[in-house]
Amino acid sequence: MVKKHILVLGLKSFGLSIVKQLSKYNCEILAIDKSMERVEVADEYATHAVQVDMHDLDKMEDLSLNSFDVAIITLDSIEESIMAALVFQEKGIPQIIVKSASEMHKKILEKMDIDKIISPETEMGIKLAKSIMNESVIDAINFSDEYSIVEINALEKWIGKTIGKLELRENYGLNVLCVKNADKDLEISPNEQYVIEEKDTLVAIAENKKLDESGLL
């Protein structure tokens, strides 16, 4: 597999967490911030970490921006965030992901046809509220508007019933990938005859709309 070249602009807590996570994968990471202190912290995890102010366009030009596959912008300044997105678009970076700082910022980014806009504080708030209201769901990772991967503890009403009998796909939008039991053993791609046990944990691809309608998440 060809290594992806990923640029992360903005190295406060959110940007740094992205760099740390990316460092676990087979990719090249360029971490950028105007704070030398933050750059030095990121340097431990990134392939390269450089101090550049977004307003210094000459220095930005020196970074060979057109060689990157993905650019992630996590800047707090709306002005600098929009400027960076414009520069990266002009350089032809195929995928641009931007953290929005406000609803107006988000609307501007949408007008710019940015590939993906994220609102981490809002998304985490929603996720926290849902987890408080339903302790069955351990984690949920959205990978598109339509689908998520969810990890969920077996509901009491599921125990002793087969996957086929429960009609998890029809009732909850769950396509079960595997089941982990109390002994940490994995049942990969369980068939419809698999009987759910008390301490089972299910990992499934879920249809977001049906999952919301079911009240499970």
Q: What is the pLDDT of residues 56-101, one digit of tens each?
A: 888 888 899 999 999 999 999 999 999 999 999 999 999 999 999 8
- Neighbouring CB atoms inside 10 A of 12's CB total 13
Over residues 166-185, the pLDDT tens digits come to 999 888 888 898 898 877 67
Compute the half-sphere exposure of residue 158: CA atoms within 13 Å on the CB side of its CA.
23
Domain membership flag for residue 144: yes
Domain presence at residue 135: yes
Quick one: 109 and 138 in the same domain? no
Q: What is residue 137's predicted lDDT score, i.e. its pLDDT? A: 55
Q: What range defines the domain where residue 154 resides?
A: 130-214
Q: Say yes or no: 206 and 166 in one domain.
A: yes
Are 110 and 135 within one domain? Answer: no
In the sheet with 116-118, reading across from the earlier edge strand, the strands are 48-51, 27-33, 4-9, 70-73, 95-99, 116-118
Establish if 86 belongs to a structural domain. yes
Which residue carries 């998304």 as its tokens?
123
What is the separation of C-alpha 147 from the centre of its chain, rounded to a whole number of angstroms?
A: 13
CA dihedral 94, 40, 118, 172 (to 10 degrees): 100
Residue 138 pLDDT exceeds 80: no
Same domain? For 112 and 15 the reply is yes
Name the domain boundary from 120, 144, 175: 120
Side chain identity, residue 16:
L
Determine, yes or no, domain membership for 50.
yes
**Are the C-beta atoms of residues 19 and 42 closer than 8 Å to each other?**
yes
Model-level pTM? 0.62
Q: How does pLDDT run across 189-203, given as a tens digit for each residue?
A: 899 999 999 889 888
CA dihedral (45, 46, 50, 51) in degrees, to 10, reads -50
115 and 140 in a single domain? The answer is no
Last residue of a domain, one of 89, 120, 151: 120
Domain boundary among 94, 120, 146: 120
If asked whether residues 98 and 71 sit together in one domain, one would say: yes
> Which of these, 1, 34, 41, lies nearest to 19 by C-alpha position?
41
Residue 125 lies in a domain: no
In this predicted structure, the answer to whether residue 126 has a pLDDT above a threshold of 60 is: no
Question: Looking at the structure, do residues 80 and 155 belong to the same domain, yes or no?
Answer: no
**Cα-based torsion angle of the residue sequence 127, 132, 137, 142 in order, rounded to the nearest 10 degrees:** 0
Q: In the chain, how many domains are there?
A: 2
